[in-house]
Structure 1
Amino acid sequence: MPPPPRPLTIHILRHGTRQDFLTPNWTSPTNLPKDPPIAPIGHHQAQEVSAHLLGQSPHSRSPPPITHIFSSPFTRCIQTVAPYARARDLRVKIEDGLGEWFNEANSILPAAADTLPSNHTEAKPCPRAPTVAELEALFPGLVDLGYEMRMRGTRWESKAEVHERLRVVLGRIIGFVEGEEDQKGGGEGGETHILLVTHAAAQIALVRALVGDERRKVTCGVATLSRFRRRIQQTTAAGVGGGKTSTSTSTSTNTNTNANANANANEDSGIDPSEWVMEADGDARHLSGGLQYNWAFAE
């Protein structure tokens, strides 16, 4: 029989308030048109996130022993997690698969009416993300230069495609982490915690993959945290000559009611929604400004 799944908790963090949310006048640290930095309030939120994860805020639980940080390559995500990563001396693994959603509805550039038929359209190039080298220059010593992305590049996507991307990359990240822990000989029974830093659409898609419902309403304000814990089934034999088993799972108020209906859609990424219990949905209690910029898909 294969070994039982490793105890794993996934923390999902949306970046802090973007500068372009507050003013049309901003400068990209990477000179990329779709890479705005976080605003001063976003830096304050980053400090609040760090304090919360370090167990230093009034609403903190015991600090989670996070061992892996994976982040979208966009500057605002690195800026949001940087205070915590530096406080823990953790390197950030840059993962394009956690990057921004570029809605395919914005990909069409109407051609000039005087040169082509009025119904002719052309696709604009998809904006690119910062490279690992660009981010290392901006955040010296913070980027994990040895990590190989599970996905690379950006592209225009439909809503269905961004959900699919996040399902797939989540499965690949979990596989990577479990492989790393196995190589290190992580003790059985020891729980692994990982932090994923991303954007609104991606955070929603990650949550939906883990609950198995692509239409679930998700709380997703800036610098909010969602958290999932893997259910661990323990099987014990009873009696002589055997044959009796009992199963124990963690408890939660979340019932994942749509898990069975969506299980097949998650098989390709190795995500079984019945394995996961939601413990926090867009938690903003650590933020002095509360829930802000709570984004949602148009559905």
Structure 2
Amino acid sequence: MNQIVWIARHANRLDFVYPDWFLTAEKRYDPPLSDDGVVQTQQLAKRLQAEKISHIFTSPFLRTVQTANAVAEVLDLPIKLETGLSEWLNSDWMTEAPETLSISELAALFPRIDPSYTPRFAAEYPETEVQVQQRSGETARYLATECYPQSILLVGHSTSVMGAAMGLVGEIAKTEVKAALCSLVKVVRQEQQWLLELKGDISHLTGMDILPNPGSIMV
């Protein structure tokens, strides 16, 4: 059986629906999912229900953990928090390093989180677009080729999804992959070559409008 790396972007986030949330939030760079985003995660989970996924890795931001958790519930799998898949720590979007929930706080909310897993890669504020693509690409490549030869799911953000895909298939991902909200990228390993099969599929999202990427805020 060929190894498959699935790469998903988180679902819709609360501050995309209610921009004023950002003004009073305690952790303003770590919004939760919106109500329709929660529905999107359920549709994503249903889409992946029949796939032979063995491990789930996610960025530690709340919206990605919520997205990964929906899939983990359906597949009955633990969740591994991997900072290498984190949001682009862009100083143009963030005036300071983003504050997120601690591992223990996340584990209290999401019992499927595996507290024994140690992240392989760090995300350091601030960073350029090239740097986030490199670290997410290295993360995807390392997890898929060095540690976990089974089929895996990576849950990240727009830029880290792109970077993860680039880490496996190369520069072609820059023009081929479209990381819309709750979209799916599918990369298949055949012998020693990685092939891009899904480039940001959203066919599993039904009954709602798909929000485009806002151009001026983090994604």
Seen in structure 2, the aligned counterparts of structure 1 residues 157 and 166 have a Cα distance that, compared at 3 Å, is same
- 2:175 matched residue in structure 1: 216
- Structure 2 residue matching 1:10: 3-state secondary structure: strand
Separation in 2, partners of 1:125, 1:296: 20
**In 1, distance between residues paired with 2:2 and 2:100?**
33
Structure 1: distance between partners of 2:190 and 2:116: 31
Moved over 6 A (4+): none
Q: CA offset at residue 209 of structure 1?
A: 2.5
For residue 45 of structure 1, what is the aligned residue in structure 2? 40
Confirm or deny: 8 A CA contact 2:137 2:165 kept in the other structure.
no
Query: Does residue 65 of structure 1 match 2:52?
Result: yes
- Quick check: 2:57–2:81 contact (8 Å CA) kept in 1? yes
More divergent stretch after superposition (33-42 vs 210-219)? 210-219
Decide whether aligned partners of structure 1 residues 147 and 209 sit closer, same or farther in structure 2, where only a CA change above 3 A counts.
same
Kept after mapping to 1: 8 A contact 2:46/2:74: no
The answer to whether residue 81 in structure 2 is matched with residue 94 in structure 1 is: yes
How many residues matched? 212
**TM-score scaled to structure 2, two decimals?**
0.87
TM-score normalised by L of structure 1: 0.65
Alignment of 1:236-251 (within 5 A): none
Give 1:225's match in structure 2, choosing from 184, 187, 192: 184
CA distance in 2: counterparts of 1:171 and 1:209, whole angstroms? 6
- The AA in structure 1 aligned to 2:80 is K
- Deviation of residue 31 (structure 1)? 3.8
Q: More displaced, 64-73 or 6-15?
A: 6-15
CA distance in 2, matches of 1:206, 1:295: 21
Q: Map 1:95-134 onto structure 2 (within 5 A).
A: 95-106=82-93, 125-134=96-105
Match 2:115 to one of 130, 134, 145 = 145
Equivalent position amino acid for 1:26 in 2: W
Which one scores higher on RCO, CA 8 angstroms, separation ≥ 6? 2
Q: Which has the larger radius of gyration?
A: 1
How far residue 177 of structure 1 moved from its aligned partner, in angstroms, is: 1.2
Shift of 1:162: 1.0
Call closer, same or farther: CA 1:43–1:106 in 2, change over 3 Å. closer
Unaligned runs of 5+ in 2: none
Asked if the contact 1:69/1:93 (under 8 Å) is kept, the reply is yes
* Identical residues among aligned pairs (%): 31
Aligned counterpart for 1:19 among listed residues 5, 14, 19: 14
Q: Aligned to 1:193, which of 151, 164, 172? A: 151
1:9–1:95: structure 2 CA closer, same or farther, 3 Å change rule? same
Matches within 5 A, 1:140-289: 141-174=111-144, 175-178=146-149, 192-213=150-171, 215-232=174-191, 275-288=193-206, 289=208
